[in-house]
Structure 1
């Protein structure tokens, strides 16, 4: 039979182990937001089956919105996590690159006519071309970072500044409009399936990346380069190539997010599309407890962090916070969470729990 002392020891031991886990912070943040909404307005969790504008029965509610729009961020968090871990920096050109990839998709589908009655190419072809465009943008950033040793934020500042102008130039500064109903499925709902399609796309990306990390050495190499580039080079790795490939992978993630973005409205607004989404992607990585200086990473924690960021944004909208003030509220909350998730804070908490456990053992 367990005594009270044994139970206390087990709880203390569990807390000590949990303190060192990266995923603790996004889980704690998720629970905090969940409890807040439960107390403030339980209707936040209401999910209903409604009919959308296309006449299809779909699920609706705040939780469905989080799954829907959080999926875009989760896809970007996958690539951003690898870039951060390998290079010790972040790609701030993600939003602008989404504009480029989205513009490419619409250009291929529309051809020379910005408002065609029929698609000028299969959607899969347009998506593959967008993937190439995203990879080229990623390769450009990767060459600057890995080849020319430019700090990632400075290197990606080029596309951050010029990307949306390039996107507008691709379509001759016109705003293409796709009338094909099938194109809207990627950013909306597939008839007969009440769950938003972006969630399934994100799930597919997560499964693919999980398999890549499990059955290849990509994750190990990325962490090795991020922890100690010189040591990894002495062990036969090519740090420059590994950094380069992470930017290319992020470019593919950007192309997937771009397909979802332009599919939602069957068009594009070059100056607004994916505005500031790169900041949310970086915050998702930080909220996942990953060190922004590179090294070890937890992909699952980053993905969960992405949904937590969307949970926060949806909560703020729910309580009628003005759109221009949401960034300020989000920044305050995220700063607190990021500080709590900082390695030094986690280590101090872990040391505190060990100290308390030692005192109980001595007592």
Structure 2
């Protein structure tokens, strides 16, 4: 029979214990400051509630965190995802305003722009051996410039209900961004866990040289993960653009790469590469969004938001550290002896 100790042991073994504890504690704070926040209502076929709002607002970070997990698992990093969001949004907005292309083709064009950006990053890292932080920093700077050129330095606005459905639409009662996160997560889990790709990613992150001599196509794997990260960032950019029905090259996705990296690390993925968890990366994104919501609901002055957010994240990361884990294990043995 599975008991609480067995469940806790399983969660701890998979690195899920402390992220889930942190998410639960933040939600507890939200319940204390706003007891009705987690109530659900159904109106016009759509489910409304605080939890739904957290999932919906956290969707862009969750999408990027899925792709970022794979990049970090290979020992890399992608600082350009926010700029890729801006490029994808600019491409889509300009096509909506300037052409009569159907929405599916416009979405494919936006995703294609993200794929091209990811392939560029992957080529610089895998093909030319440039350090990932430097290679993606190039597109971090240049990407927003490209988006601004596409927008001619303006904020492009539009009215297109079919495209807006990507950001504000509802499917089976849930917001479309939530479904997109679930779809991308399921697809990536299927690809990485039902094929050799996931094993190759972990092998490259653990030891790229040994993987190369073992026959693993290291360069192809790195190129693939950066391409996936570009696609995820582009999809997040399309969601953000559809949400506001406009493309703001200066502000869309600004600094979102930092939240995505934090979400991945909170989920237990090491920046040194190796093992990773896509599910826990999404949990990390929910933690960040829940924390933002808790700070707002608590009525704390906005000037303290970033400080509180940083303190909570540091606490979660410290609890996940090997030193803290060893000390907690020692205390547990002492009290159970």
Q: Please report the TM-score for the alignment, with normalisation by the length of structure 2.
A: 0.92
Partner of 2:65: 77
Q: Residue 67 of structure 1: CA displacement?
A: 1.4
1:125 aligns with 2:81: no
Q: Take 2:20 and 2:211, find their aligned partners in 1: how far apart are those partners?
A: 33
1:39 aligns with 2:32: yes
Change (3 A) 1:126 1:15: closer
Q: Take 1:102 and 1:346, find their aligned partners in 2: how far apart are those partners?
A: 43
Conservation of the 8 A alpha-carbon contact between 1:22 and 1:290: no
Conservation of the 8 A alpha-carbon contact between 2:185 and 2:278: no
| Counterpart mapping for 1:226-237 below 5 A | 226-237=205-216
Query: Which residue of the other structure, out of 90, 99, 108, is the alignment partner of 1:103?
Result: 90
Q: Take 1:134 and 1:213, find their aligned partners in 2: how far apart are those partners?
A: 20
Change (3 A) 1:121 1:144: same
Conservation of the 8 A alpha-carbon contact between 1:25 and 1:289: no
Query: Which residue of the other structure, out of 202, 213, 229, is the alignment partner of 1:223?
Result: 202
Q: Residue 324 of structure 1: CA displacement?
A: 5.0
Q: Residue 343 of structure 1: CA displacement?
A: 3.8
Partner of 2:127: 147
* Aligned residue pair count: 337
Conservation of the 8 A alpha-carbon contact between 1:96 and 1:163: yes
CA deviations 1:237-273 (Å, max 9, x no partner) are: 1212211110000011011111101001110211111
Query: Which residue of the other structure, out of 267, 274, 277, is the alignment partner of 1:298?
Result: 277
SS at structure 1 position matched to 2:47: strand
Q: Take 2:131 and 2:251, find their aligned partners in 1: how far apart are those partners?
A: 27
Conservation of the 8 A alpha-carbon contact between 2:37 and 2:50: yes
| Counterpart mapping for 1:15-26 below 5 A | 18-26=11-19
| Counterpart mapping for 1:1-363 below 5 A | 18-50=11-43, 56=44, 58-86=46-74, 88-111=75-98, 120-190=100-170, 193-350=172-329, 353=332, 355-356=333-334, 360=337
CA deviations 1:142-195 (Å, max 9, x no partner) are: 1222223322222211111222121010122232222122221111123x8542
Q: Take 1:106 and 1:322, find their aligned partners in 2: how far apart are those partners?
A: 35
Give unmatched runs, 5+ long, in structure 2: none
Partner of 1:115: none
SS at structure 2 position matched to 1:48: strand
Change (3 A) 1:315 1:350: same
Q: State the superposition RMSD in angstroms.
A: 2.4
